[in-house]
Amino acid sequence: MLYTLLLLILVSLMSCKRLGLCKDEELTLVKTDYNGQELRTDGFYYGNPGTDFRGNDLYDLIVFYKNGIIMYPGTVELNRMEKYIVSIANINMPESKYDWGLFNINNKSILLEQWLAAQAGCHPTLFRSGEILNDSTFVLSKQIIRDPYSGTKETSINQEFHFRHFEVKPDSTNNFIK
Domains and CATH numbers, the chain: 17-165 (2.40.128)
Q: What is the pLDDT averaged over residues 38-50?
A: 95
pLDDT tens-digit map of 90-117: 675 657 788 899 999 999 999 999 998 8
The pTM for the full model equals: 0.83
Distance, CA of 158 to CA of 169 (rounded, Å): 26
pLDDT tens-digit map of 133-161: 999 999 999 999 988 777 899 999 999 99
Distance, CA of 13 to CA of 7 (rounded, Å): 10
- Residue 94 pLDDT: 57
Average model confidence (pLDDT) across the chain: 85
Rg of the chain taking only CA atoms, in angstroms: 18
Q: Does the pLDDT of residue 12 top 50, yes or no?
A: no
Beta bridge partners of 71: 63, 100
Q: Does the pLDDT of residue 11 top 80, yes or no?
A: no
Higher per-residue confidence, 105 vs 85: 105
Distance, CA of 94 to CA of 41 (rounded, Å): 19
Distance, CA of 1 to CA of 154 (rounded, Å): 43
Strands 125-134 and 100-106, sheet pairing? unpaired
Q: Does the pLDDT of residue 86 top 50, yes or no?
A: yes
pLDDT tens-digit map of 13-39: 344 445 545 678 888 999 999 999 999
- Residue 22 pLDDT: 63
- CA angle (88, 92, 97) in 5-degree steps: 100
